[in-house]
A and B are shown apart, each in its own frame.
Chain A
């Protein structure tokens, strides 16, 4: 606790019920899912619009 106060200053407690903690965790998990899915979608579109080497079709 001393180290915490040394690093962050005044110590303050924030209390929430276990149910609220669970909801918070699930909401953060949803945010993480959303970020990861958006990243995958961006990667998909980047790959989809990437120009393809057409030399192989000419041979």
Chain B
């Protein structure tokens, strides 16, 4: 009777030990899986942080570029604004009556300068020499040569080309 009980007790103890061993092995296996998952998650977090840093840098760079573009677009409007102001200030009809040769020189000089600036704006050198007839036209208004009129013109004088 007691020997049967002892045998049963031994089986119970062995079963408990086996169950415990299985449980520990299962825990170790789960722990290993958790470690691997943790490593993957750390890599994913690192990648995400790198991507975020790149996005932030891009955002700053594009903001700076956008600001610069806005400034450049406004700068491109300066010529037209200056021209409109100059034309508002001047009375070209009176200028023509007063000294037509002077006005002619200013107009020709301004036109030549504008074409050269357009040439530069479209990829050219912008240093096409002035035509002889423009350089040599005598002036009655003042004594300076016609070359100077380019900087003294009706419509291009106030242009800033920097």
Q: Give me the interface of A with B, judged by CB distance under 8 Å.
A: 1, 3-4, 7, 18, 21-22, 25-26, 28-33, 35-37, 39-41, 43-44, 47-48, 52, 54, 57-58
Contacts and interface: CB of A to CB of B under 8 A. Distances in A.
B150 interface: no
Contact of A44 (B65, B83, B122, B154): B65
Given A26-B84, A28-B114, A52 B57 contact: yes
Interface of B is mostly: helix
B50 A25 contact: no
Nearest to A34: B76
B92 A22 contact: yes
A47 B155 contact: no
Interface of A is mostly: helix
Interface of B: 50, 53-54, 57-58, 61-62, 65-66, 68-69, 72-73, 76-77, 79-80, 83-84, 87, 92-93, 96, 107, 114, 117-118, 121-122, 131-133, 136, 154-155
29 contacts: A3-B136, A4-B133, A18-B92, A21-B92, A21-B107, A22-B92, A25-B87, A28-B114, A28-B118, A30-B80, A32-B114, A33-B77, A35-B122, A36-B76, A36-B121, A37-B73, A39-B121, A41-B73, A43-B72, A44-B65, A44-B66, A44-B72, A48-B62, A52-B58, A54-B54, A57-B50, A57-B53, A57-B54, A57-B57
